[in-house]
Structure 1
Amino acid sequence: MLALKTHSHGERGFVLAIVLLAMLMMAAMALAMNRSVGMQSKMAANRARSMQFHFGQVAAIEDARWQLTRNSTWRTDTSGENYEYGGIIYNRKVLDCAITGYGDAVTVLITAPGGRDPLQVHFMWQLVARSTNLSVLYIADYENHRIRKVDEATGIITTVAGTGIPGYNGDNQSADLAQLNHPTGVFVVENGDLYIADYRNNRIRKVDAETKIITTVAGNGADPELQDGELATEVSLGWPASVFVDESGNLYFSDYFYHRIRKVDADTRIITTVAGSTTEYGWNTGDYSGDHGPATSAELNRPTGIDMDADGNLYIADYYNNRIRRVDAATKIITTVAGNGIAGYSGDCGPATDAKLNWPEGVFVDKSGNIFITGTWFTPRIRKVDSVTGIITTVAGNGKTGDKGDNKPAIKAELNFPMNVFVNDYGDIYIADKYNHRIRKVAGDTGIITTVAGNGHDGYNGDNKPANRAELNAPNDAIAVRHEKSLPSRWGWAIVEELY
C-alpha cells in the first residue's frame, strides 16, 4: 500500500517504500530484543507489578544491592505523550546472582496526564550495584590491645593499629607499631581517618587514612585532673570509653571516671564539657540529676557509649543510671529517652521511658532515628526504641547468657555481654559480643544472626586469615564502614502493556 501512494514518483517512490518497510522491520526487531531484557507485566491502578529484569554478562556480587535509577519521563507508542515517573527507588537485595546474570523484582508506579492510563509504555532503566559485601568492619579488640579490620568482600582480618603489647610507646609512627592499652571505642570518618578511644592510656588517638601514622588528638596521659577550656592534648582524661566525630569534625568522647561527655572543637582544638557536672574523679562519684535542664548542670554516672542523630542531638548510654539520655542540639537540654533508672529487664512493647535497662553500655541511632541499646549484665539483649512511637522492643538476644543461636532468628540467640552496637543503612545490626569473643551480625532483611569475626576462643592467633577463624579477645566495639562500589551499569528497555 505504501508503493501505491508513491506511484506517481516512479522509481524514487518505490525506493522510499522499501526504506520505510525496512525501518518498520528494524523497529519490530528492536522491540523483540527489548522484550528479551525486560519482562512484560500487567498493570492495574497505574501499577506495574513484579517487573523482572534480566540481562547477561553482569559481573555481580552475590548478596549485592541493585538500585533502579529515577527516570524523568515515560513515552507511549500510541500518542507520544510524556508520563511522569512516580515510582519508588529500588533498593532491595538481589535474590540470586552469578557471573552471567541475576534476578529480582521491583514495583513501579506510573502517573499519566489527566489520570488516563497509557495503552503501552516503554521506559529506559539503569541498574547500579551497591554491595554491602564491600564494607570494612573495624573492631576494638580490647584484651588484644589492637584495632582489627575485616574486609567483608574477602572476609580476611588484619591489624591496623596496636602491637598487641599493652602500653604507650609514643606517637608519629606507623599505627601498627604503636602500643595501645585496652582500646574500647573506634570511629571512622568519611575520609577514612580512624579514631580510637585508648582507654587506659587516657588518650584519643587518630590514625591518618593516607599515611597510617598515629597521633594523639586528646589527652596527655597524665594523672587525672579535670581541665576544660584548654588544648585537648594538654589535659588529662578519666578513661575515655567511646568516641564520635560529627560532620563538622568536632570530636566527642565519654570521660568515664569524670562522668562527663567532652567535646574537642574542630577548629580551635579546645576541650569543653557538653554533658555532666561532676568535678571529682572516681568510680563512685557520679549520680543522677538534671533532666529537663541544661546538660552541663546534669549528673551522669559512668557514661559509656555515645552517638548523634542526623539533627545533631547527642545520645548517651548513662551506664550506672540505667538510662539513655539525650541532649537536644538546639536547646542543650537533657532528657531521658529510655530507661526508668532501675536495673533489670522489663517493658518490651511499651514506652521506652517506663522500661528497665540493665546497665546499658552502648547506644546507636540509625538513619531513621531509631535508638539501639545494648544491655550487658544478666539479661543480655539488644533493644530498639522506635523513633515514631517511642516503644521499646528486643531485636537480638533471648536474655540468656551464652553463645548459641547462629543462623537462627536473632531474638532466639544467646549473647554474652554485648558491649556496643552499630547499624548500617540497610538495617544490618553489628554486635560486639564481648565474652563470646565474636562480632555478630543480624541481617536487616531476615533477622537472622551470624558470626562475622571471631571463632569464640579468646586469644590472638594471627592475622591474614578468614575473620571467622581468627581469635578475638573481649571485643568492645565494632563499626562497619561501607565502601560502596558501583559495578558496571547496564541500560535496557522494558515494556508495560495489557492494561486492565
Structure 2
Amino acid sequence: MSLLKRLNILENNNYIPIIGNGIKTNTIAKNADAGWPLGIDQLSNSNLIIADYTFNLIWEINKSGKLNVIAGTGMQGYSGDNELAINAELNGPHDLVVDDNDNIYFSDLGNQVYRMIDYKTKIITTIAGNGMLGRKGDGELAINAEMDCYCGIAISEEGDIYISSEWSNNIRKIDKKSGVISLFAGYLSKHNSTNLNQYKPIVAEKLSLGGYSGDGGPKEIAAFNHPEHLAFDSNQDLYICDNSNDRIRKIDMKTGIVSTIFGNGDKASNGDGGLAVNASTLMPDALCIDDKDNIYVGEKYGFRIRKIDSETGIVSTVAGNGNPGYGDENVLATETECNSIEVGLHIRDNNILYSDCSGRVRQIDSKGYVSTIFGGTSIHDKEDSLNAFLASPFGISISNNGDIYIADTWNQRIRKINSSDNTIETIAGTGARAYGGDGGLATNAHLGNPYGVSVNSKNEVYISDTRHSHIRKIDLNGIIHNVAGSAFSWDKGDGGPSISSNIVHSRSIIHDSNDNIYFGDSGIGKIRKIDFKTGIINTYAGIGISGYSGDNKLAVNCKLVSPVDLAFDNLGNLYFADEGAHVIRKIDNKTGIITTVAGNGDKGFSKDGTKAIDSYLDSPSGIDVSENGTIYFSDTNNKLIRKINEEGKIESIFGINTRKSKFEDHYDTNQYNKMILPRNLKFYNKNILLVSDHFNHQILAISIK
C-alpha cells in the first residue's frame, strides 16, 4: 500500500499511526521492541528483571520468554510512590538489583532517586533521594538526601545498600536497619589526580574533577573517576567500575584497603591472555561476578565483554570483536559485533546475559554462541513501516517526492519511508552509538543519538549528530560527510568554514528555500546558519548564554535556552520551539527582529482560548507552519498538539489534557493519549500533520481540517 493510500484513511479518522510498531506487552520478549535495556537481574524463580532507560519501564521476562511490564507507564516523570508500580512514572531507570526477598531496587536516574518495588505487593516506594540534584544528606535518612547522578547499586549479604555516583566520584552506603546514608568511599568533593603510589589525593573543593589515587590505602581517601557500577563477590568484597580511569577496583571490606584488579589506565582494550592488572580495558561500564567469583566486565568503548578468571587472574574476551555494530544471531560471541556494553550484565544458569546500545538483551550460551532474548532480531527494515521498531523518534523531514525521513534517535539511525510502497529502510547508521564512517557509505557509518534530520531541494540529507556535536550530510551517492563540528564541543567558528567550527548539542536542523542550513544548538542557546554556497557558518540567533530575553530586538542579541525544532513560513520567517524557555518564537526574515508568539516563559498549562503570548506551556518541542500561515506546535509535557488561531489564542487540535490549572498534573489516558510525548511536527501536505510520538515510539498522522 502506498503512503497516500494509507493516509486517505484519515478521511474518516482523526489520526492513524503510520510508522512504528509501538510498545508491546504480554508478548514474546524475543520478538518485542525494547528501548535501551540497561540493568539486568533475576528473581528467585529465574524470571528476568530489566530496566529500560528509554521506554521508562521495568520489564519482567518469565522462563517461557513472555514479556510484561511491572513498573512504569512509559511516560517520563516522577509519581506513584506507595501505589502499584505499574501506574508509576519513571525517568530513565538505570541500574537495578534484586534482593533475597525478590524486592527490586533501581536507580531512577533522571529523578535523582533510588526506588524499590515490593514484588509480592507490586507497590513502589522511594528509598533514597529527595529529588534534588546535590551532595548533601550524609548522616541523615537516605530519603532526605540529595543525589548527584547516582546510578550504580549493590546489596551486601547484611542487606546494606551501596550506591555509586558518576559525578560526585564516591560510593555511599544506606544502612539497612536505620535507613541512614553515609559516605563509604571517596570524597564528597571531587579530586585532582595524583601518582598511583601516593594514595592520599589532593582535595580540590567544589572542582568537578575526578582522579585516580588511593591504591594500597584506605577507601575514605581514595580517588575515583566516574565510578558507575558495583558488585560483591562471595567474600563480600566490593568491586567498582572506575569508568573514566579505565580500571576495575576493589575494596577489601575487612580492611577497607583499595586496589586495582583490572586495567593499566591505557585508553585501549587489549592484554588478553595475561594478568588483568597489566591489561587495558576501555571505559568499563558493566560488571557482574558469577558464583565462582569470575569477574565479567562490559566495555563501553572497547565493545567487548571481558572475563577475569578468579583463580589465575588472567583476562580473556568472551564477547565482541572490538568493532561496534548490530551483531548477528547464532554466531560465536567472540566473533560478533557488540555496541557499547553499559550497565546490563548478568549470569543466569551459566549463560551470560548482556544489553548493549543495539536495544537488545542477548545471551551467550555455554558453547559460546550468542542469541537475542529481548528486543527483536531485526528492526524490520525493508518491511511495511508499521512493522518497524523505532526508539524515541524525534526529527521529521519530507522530501520533494513525498518520502519521509526520521531521526530514529535511540536506534542510532536515520530511516526513510518510501512513499511509493510505505516500506522503511535505514539510510544512515549501523545501530552503534559511536562516531565514524565519514567518506564511506552512510549505512556503514556510526551515529550518536541523532535528533534532527532535514532534506534539501537536491535530496541531500543533513543530520544533527547530537551526541557527537556534528552536522553530517548524506550525498546523492549515499556517502556521509562531516559538515560542521569537530572533536570538541564548543561554541566557535563564526565567520569561517563550517567544517572548522565547533558546536555543542544540536537537536534540530532545517533548510530554507535556498538550501541554507539552520540548526539549533541547545547546549549554548543559539541558532546558527551555514551558507549553502560558501559553507560559512554564523550565528543567526542567541548570544550563547542560556536564558529568555531580547524580544523586539535583533535575534543575534537575544538569549535562548533550547531551540529544539525549527520551521519556516512562506515568507521566510523562522519559527522555533524553545523547549527550555517554554515559548514559541519568531525571527522576522527581513528585519532579524525576534518576538515571542506563544508562551509567557513560565512552565505550566493554560486552557484553550488563552491568548497565546499569555499562556503557560510545558516544554514545547515541535513546530510547523501551515500553507496559510497558521502556527502548530507540540505542547509536549501537556501532551497536546495546539495551534494559534486567527484571534491569537491557543487551541488544542489533538490529545487530551484534563489539567485545570498550571499547577495540576492529571491526564486523561482513556483515549489515544497513548500519544505519550509529542515531539517534532511536520506537515506532509496541507491537511496532514506528522507527529513524532517520542515515548510511544511511533510517527502519527493527524488530519487537520
TM-score bracket for this pair, using the shorter chain length: 0.5 to 0.7
Contact map agreement 2:115 2:126 (CA 8 A) in 1: yes
Q: Distance in 2 between matches of 1:308 and 1:437?
A: 27
* Counterpart check, 1:138 vs 2:138: no
Deviations 1:429-473 (A, max 9, x none): 00011x211000001x211110000026789xxxxxxxxx98777
Q: Give the one of 360, 368, 386 matched to 1:438.
A: 360
Kindly state the Cα deviation for residue 425 of structure 1 after the two structures are TM-superposed: 5.5
Contact map agreement 1:455 1:471 (CA 8 A) in 2: no
Q: Distance in 1 between matches of 2:84 and 2:207?
A: 34
From the CA coordinates, give the structure whose radius of gyration is larger: 1
How is 1:485-496 mapped onto 2 (pairs within 5 angstroms)?
A: none
Contact map agreement 2:129 2:142 (CA 8 A) in 1: yes
Aligned to 1:347: 271
Kindly state the Cα deviation for residue 310 of structure 1 after the two structures are TM-superposed: 1.1
Q: Give the one of 271, 296, 303 matched to 2:227.
A: 303
Kindly state the Cα deviation for residue 200 of structure 1 after the two structures are TM-superposed: 1.3
Aligned to 2:615: none
* Counterpart check, 1:429 vs 2:352: yes
Aligned to 2:373: 452
Q: Give the one of 296, 300, 303 matched to 1:380.
A: 303
Contact map agreement 2:288 2:347 (CA 8 A) in 1: no
Q: 1:283 to 1:390 in 2, by over 3 A?
A: farther
Q: Distance in 2 between matches of 1:472 and 1:133?
A: 31
Contact map agreement 1:437 1:471 (CA 8 A) in 2: no
3-state DSSP of counterpart to 1:411: helix
Deviations 1:294-321 (A, max 9, x none): 1111011111111001111000000011
**What TM-score does the superposition give when structure 1 sets the normalisation length?**
0.63
Q: Give the one of 131, 145, 149 matched to 2:60.
A: 149
Contact map agreement 1:372 1:421 (CA 8 A) in 2: no
3-state DSSP of counterpart to 1:320: helix
Q: Distance in 1 between matches of 2:369 and 2:122?
A: 36
Q: 1:321 to 1:163 in 2, by over 3 A?
A: same
Q: Distance in 1 between matches of 2:322 and 2:135?
A: 39
Aligned to 2:597: none
3-state DSSP of counterpart to 2:244: helix
Kindly state the Cα deviation for residue 236 of structure 1 after the two structures are TM-superposed: 0.3
Contact map agreement 2:154 2:231 (CA 8 A) in 1: yes
* Counterpart check, 1:399 vs 2:322: yes
Q: Distance in 2 between matches of 1:471 and 1:207?
A: 28
Q: 1:199 to 1:135 in 2, by over 3 A?
A: same
Aligned to 1:192: 102
Aligned to 2:281: 357
Aligned to 2:72: 162
Kindly state the Cα deviation for residue 234 of structure 1 after the two structures are TM-superposed: 0.7
Query: Which has the larger helix fraction?
Result: 1
3-state DSSP of counterpart to 1:214: strand
How is 1:191-210 mapped onto 2 (pairs within 5 angstroms)?
A: 191-210=101-120
Q: Distance in 1 between matches of 2:345 and 2:189?
A: 31
Name the Cα RMSD after superposition.
Answer: 2.4
Q: Distance in 1 between matches of 2:379 and 2:107?
A: 21
* Counterpart check, 1:318 vs 2:242: yes
Aligned to 2:130: 220
Q: Distance in 2 between matches of 1:165 and 1:249?
A: 31
Q: Distance in 1 between matches of 2:378 and 2:137?
A: 41
**One-letter amino acid of the structure 2 residue matched with residue 438 of structure 1:** R
Contact map agreement 1:436 1:456 (CA 8 A) in 2: no
Kindly state the Cα deviation for residue 424 of structure 1 after the two structures are TM-superposed: 3.0
Higher relative contact order (CA 8 A, sep 6+): 1
Contact map agreement 1:159 1:176 (CA 8 A) in 2: yes
Q: How many corresponding residue pairs?
A: 331
Aligned to 1:288: 212
**One-letter amino acid of the structure 2 residue matched with residue 455 of structure 1:** G
Contact map agreement 2:44 2:100 (CA 8 A) in 1: no
Kindly state the Cα deviation for residue 233 of structure 1 after the two structures are TM-superposed: 0.6
Deviations 1:6-57 (A, max 9, x none): xxxxxxxxxxxxxxxxxxxxxxxxxxxxxxxxxxxxxxxxxxxxxxxxxxxx
Q: 1:425 to 1:415 in 2, by over 3 A?
A: closer
Q: Distance in 2 between matches of 1:471 and 1:191?
A: 36
Long gaps (5+) in structure 1: 1-131, 460-468, 476-500
3-state DSSP of counterpart to 1:307: strand
Kindly state the Cα deviation for residue 334 of structure 1 after the two structures are TM-superposed: 0.6
3-state DSSP of counterpart to 1:135: coil
Q: Distance in 1 between matches of 2:174 and 2:44?
A: 34
3-state DSSP of counterpart to 1:326: strand
**What TM-score does the superposition give when structure 2 sets the normalisation length?**
0.45
Q: Percent identity?
A: 35
Q: Distance in 2 between matches of 1:283 and 1:362?
A: 27
Q: 1:135 to 1:471 in 2, by over 3 A?
A: farther
Contact map agreement 1:263 1:272 (CA 8 A) in 2: yes
Q: Distance in 2 between matches of 1:249 and 1:218?
A: 15
Q: Give the one of 174, 197, 219 matched to 1:264.
A: 174
Q: Distance in 2 between matches of 1:350 and 1:413?
A: 22
Kindly state the Cα deviation for residue 274 of structure 1 after the two structures are TM-superposed: 1.8
Q: Distance in 2 between matches of 1:190 and 1:471?
A: 36
Q: Distance in 1 between matches of 2:181 and 2:67?
A: 35
Kindly state the Cα deviation for residue 388 of structure 1 after the two structures are TM-superposed: 0.9
Q: Distance in 1 between matches of 2:138 and 2:261?
A: 28
Aligned to 1:241: 151
Q: Distance in 1 between matches of 2:145 and 2:373?
A: 38
Q: Distance in 2 between matches of 1:254 and 1:178?
A: 24
Contact map agreement 2:330 2:370 (CA 8 A) in 1: yes
